[in-house]
Amino acid sequence: MRIVFLGPPGSGKGTQAQILAQKVGIPQISTGDLLREAVEQNTLVGRKAKEYMEKGALVPDEIVVGLVRDKLSQETAFILDGFPRTVQQAESLDEVLQQLGVSLDAVINIEIPLEAAVERLSGRLTCSECNSIYHVKYNPPAQKGVCDTCGGDLYQRSDDTEKAITHRFDVYKKQTQPVIQYYKERKKLVNVDGNRTIEEIATDIEELVST
Ligand code: AMP
């Protein structure tokens, strides 16, 4: 299974990618997680990516494509979350997959009104150890500040501030929305209504990928 999750920031694509990856037992490759790890470990990639991420801007294509290329060459099945985010990244992904002799099965586009997405982002909590995602209101952990899955500390991402969120939406509209059209033209796109409960969306997605 080779699947891409698309959607605006706060659409729940990370949450759904995590759920599906666990259910079907294949790796979730999140470029956001990979980049945050690189920043934390202060690698060369992390030092280059940091300033873009804090502003809510996209990290340059060549850096992100390099990261994804390395990961995909190690996996036969995967769920990509947060990549591609530009048409150029989508074209690069096609090239990489062609070189590996494989293709995408589906691109799941989670649709949500932008106002709902902003509310979700401002209450989002992320695990510092395993990257599990929570929400103070819609998906709270059993114990405040502690991850249900691994017991790690939960934190609020530095780009989940009002200023960075606004910028991330602008970036999404200008640079990522054209990717939807890219996959529509290639008959890979499946739209999913993201304005429902986590469980309802997960059930829908599981059905979609099993047919
Ligand atoms: P995410 O965790 O997917 O919301 O990503 C957080 C941040 O990482 C984004 O706002 C970007 O700065 C950067 N990022 C993640 N994925 C990409 C990508 N495919 N292309 C460029 N920047 C990315």
136-183 pLDDT per residue, tens: 998 999 999 999 999 999 999 888 888 888 888 899 999 999 999 999
CA-nearest of 111, 83, 108 to 175 is 83
Q: d(Cα 153, Cα 51) in Å, to the nearest integer?
A: 24
Q: Return the pLDDT at 79.
A: 96
Q: Return the pLDDT at 13.
A: 93
**Averaged pLDDT for residues 28-32:** 95
CA of 132 to the centre of ligand 1 (A): 16
Q: Is 124 a catalytic residue?
A: yes
Atom number of ligand 1 nearest to Cα 68? 19
Mean pLDDT is highest, among 70-74, 165-169, 204-208, for 204-208
Estimate to the nearest angstrom the gap between the alpha carbon of 97 and the chain centroid. Answer: 19
Average pLDDT, the chain: 93
Q: Is 2 a catalytic residue?
A: no
Q: Catalytic: which of 157, 174, 184, 196?
A: 157
Q: Is 13 a catalytic residue?
A: yes
Q: Is 85 a catalytic residue?
A: yes
The response to whether residue 205 sits with its C-beta less than 6 Å from ligand 1 reads: no
Task: State how far the alpha carbon of 71 is from the alpha carbons of 5, 9, 27, 37, 59, in Å.
Answer: 16, 23, 10, 14, 17
The response to whether residue 160 sits with its C-beta less than 6 Å from ligand 1 reads: no
117 strand-pairing partners: none
Contacts with 23 (C-beta within 8 Å, 6 or more apart), sequence order? 202, 206
Q: Is 186 a catalytic residue?
A: no
SS3 25: coil
SS3 179: helix
Which tokens go with 48?
Answer: 């280059």
CB–CB of 112/7 below 8 Å?
yes
Q: d(Cα 180, Cα 205) in Å, to the nearest integer?
A: 17
Percent of the chain with pLDDT over 90: 79
CB–CB of 201/16 below 8 Å?
yes
**Averaged pLDDT for residues 76-92:** 96
Atom number of ligand 1 nearest to Cα 55? 12
Atom number of ligand 1 nearest to Cα 57? 12
